[in-house]
């Protein structure tokens, strides 16, 4: 199956990164979000991320412009009618994703593959919102997308082998490493990572150490590039909370209960880097 045109639904942290890496690999990309302003913000993120490469001499200014030209903005879900692969990267909320997949199923061409970048939610359930469950798959990129090599590929119960093979091939074309995991809450990445981050937040809330000390211990002691609280801010505290709630309800095990301090921060709108304030403040 030929894949030339990609549509990315959601121009946030992840959607912008996914659009960038496909544009760099010479695909035609449509970047969609609810409002023009949000899409524009996503395009600006891409432009500044590419500029890093220009500043490092890894990319010329001309090439940067060519990559940006591969991305067209859209606020119309109907743009999916021209896409071969649609990758959804909106808020980690099942109801929102189900509604989008139901819409996409009506608009996207029959051959199109519908993928979700969900961190933790059931691909099988997302697929149930469509009449093409065999063409629905999880294509889970890591943050920041231009840098992280891993893509977790998650089959839903009905996902057909051809679809898996196409996504695996595309992942390699992006110079990333596809890893097949099965459809269980949090897959592998967040089944292991998020409880660690949640435990760091409990460590903070119980006064075991200051936030800087907790991050320092994991950076210097375990060689993590970012401490868990800095990483939580980087991911987004809302996303971290939604993932913990998925693990908690998905496994019915209280060891996954989200730390009340995490819930409090999200309720206060302290979402981390993307809102300017989380455990740390970002200017
Ligand atoms: N976008 C693009 N490139 C970026 C970037 C961004 N947001 N941030 C950093 N980079 C690039 C820099 O350009 C630099 O490139 P070179 O090595 O070629 O010079 C490189 O990354 C290192 O950047 P810095 O030197 O500025 O900073 P750093 O050394 O601290 O690295 C980092 C930044 C790569 C983000 C590093 O801190 C890191 O790897 N952190 C952990 C990230 C992580 O764990 N991600 C997975 C989260 S879990 C997830 O994503 C799944 C989920 O569902 C929640
Ligand atoms: P984000 O908050 O940065 O962006 C979410 C985007 O979705 C926003 O631009 C918002 O306008 C858009 N959106 C919300 N509701 C929508 C709707 N009904 N229709 C269309 N667009 C809508 O979130 P993010 O961090 O980019 O995460 C997006 C997805 O990627 C989530 O499923 C998340 O779990 C997953 N993910 C996140 C990370 C991470 O580190 N942040 C890593 C891997 C996967």
Ranges of the chain whose pLDDT falls below 70: none
Ramachandran class of 84: left when φ > 0, alpha when ψ lies in -120 to 50, beta otherwise: alpha
Q: What's the sign of the alpha-carbon dihedral 33, 35, 38, 39?
A: positive
Nearest protein CA to atom 39 of ligand 1, as residue = 225
Q: Given the DSSP bridges, would you call strands 28-32 and 71-74 parallel, antiparallel or unpaired? A: parallel
Q: What is the pLDDT of residue 1?
A: 84
Ligand 1 in reach of 52 Cβ (< 6 A): yes
Which helix (DSSP H) or strand (DSSP E) does residue 87 occupy? strand 85-88
| Ligand 1, atom 38, residue with closest C-alpha | 225
**What are the φ and ψ backbone dihedral angles of 236, each rounded to 5 degrees?**
120, 120
Question: What backbone torsions phi and psi does residue 179 show, to the nearest 5 degrees?
Answer: -130, 125
Contacts of 149 (CB under 8 A, 6+ apart): 142, 175, 176, 177
- Which protein residue has the closest C-alpha to ligand 1 atom 43? 143
Model confidence over 202-228: pLDDT tens digits? Answer: 999 999 999 999 999 999 999 999 999
The domain limits of the chain are 5-182, 191-275
CA 148 to centroid of ligand 1, rounded, Å: 7
Cβ of 190 less than 6 Å from ligand 1: yes
**Relative to the alpha carbon of 226, which ligand is closest?**
1
Pocket of ligand 2 (CB under 6 A): 9-15, 33-34, 38, 89-92, 96, 100, 117-119, 141, 143, 235-236, 239, 274
What is the value of pTM for the model shown? Answer: 0.96
CATH superfamily of 5-182: NAD(P)-binding Rossmann-like Domain (3.40.50.720)
Residue positions annotated with a catalytic role: 119, 140, 152, 190
For residue 29, the CA-to-ligand 2 centroid distance in Å is 17
CATH number of the structural domain 191-275 = 1.10.1040.10
pLDDT value, residue 214? 98
| Ligand 1 midpoint to CA 147 (Å) | 6
Cβ atoms of residues 17 and 146 within 8 Å = yes
Contact at 8 Å (CB) between 53 and 59?
Answer: yes
- For residue 120, the ligand 2 atom closest to its alpha carbon is 34
| Residues contacting 23, CB < 8 A, separation 6+ | 29, 46, 67, 68, 70, 71
Q: Distance (Å, rounded) from C-alpha 275 to C-alpha 257?
A: 24
Q: What would the pLDDT profile of 157-200 be if each residue is shown by its tens digit?
A: 999 999 999 999 999 999 999 999 999 999 999 999 999 999 99
Q: Do domains 5-182 and 191-275 have the same CATH topology?
A: no
Q: Is 217 in the pocket of ligand 1 (CB under 6 A)?
A: no
Whole-angstrom Cα distance, residue 248 to residue 263? Answer: 14
Considering only CA atoms, which residue is closest to atom 9 of ligand 2?
12
Rounded mean pLDDT of the chain?
Answer: 97
């Amino acid at each position: 199956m030929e894949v030339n045109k990609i549509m990315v639904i959601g121009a946030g942290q992840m959607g912008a990164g996914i659009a960038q890496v496909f544009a760099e690999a010479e695909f035609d990309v449509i970047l969609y979000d609810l409002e023009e302003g949000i899409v524009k913000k996503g395009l600006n993120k891409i432009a500044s991320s590419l500029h890093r490469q220009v500043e490092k001499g890894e990319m010329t200014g001309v090439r940067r412009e060519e990559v940006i030209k591969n991305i067209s903005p859209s606020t119309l879900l109907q743009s999916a009618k021209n896409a071969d692969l649609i990758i959804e990267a909106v808020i980690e909320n099942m109801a929102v994703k189900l509604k989008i997949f139901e819409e996409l199923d009506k608009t996207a061409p029959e051959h199109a593959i519908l993928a979700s970048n969900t961190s933790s939610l059931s691909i099988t359930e997302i697929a149930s919102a469509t009449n093409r469950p065999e063409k629905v798959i999880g294509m889970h990129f890591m943050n920041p997308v231009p840098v992280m090599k891993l893509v977790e590929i998650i089959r839903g119960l009905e996902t057909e082998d051809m679809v898996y093979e196409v996504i695996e091939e595309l992942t390699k074309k992006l110079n990333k490493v596809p890893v097949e995991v099965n459809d269980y809450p949090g897959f592998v990445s967040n089944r292991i990572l998020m409880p660690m981050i949640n435990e760091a937040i409990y460590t903070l809330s119980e006064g075991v150490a200051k936030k800087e000390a907790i991050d320092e211990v994991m950076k210097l002691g375990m060689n993590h590039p970012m401490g868990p609280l800095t990483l939580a801010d980087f991911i987004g505290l809302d996303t971290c909370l939604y993932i913990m709630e998925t693990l908690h309800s998905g496994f019915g095990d209280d060891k996954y209960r989200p730390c009340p301090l995490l819930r409090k921060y999200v309720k206060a709108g302290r979402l981390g880097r993307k809102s300017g304030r989380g455990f740390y403040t970002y200017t």
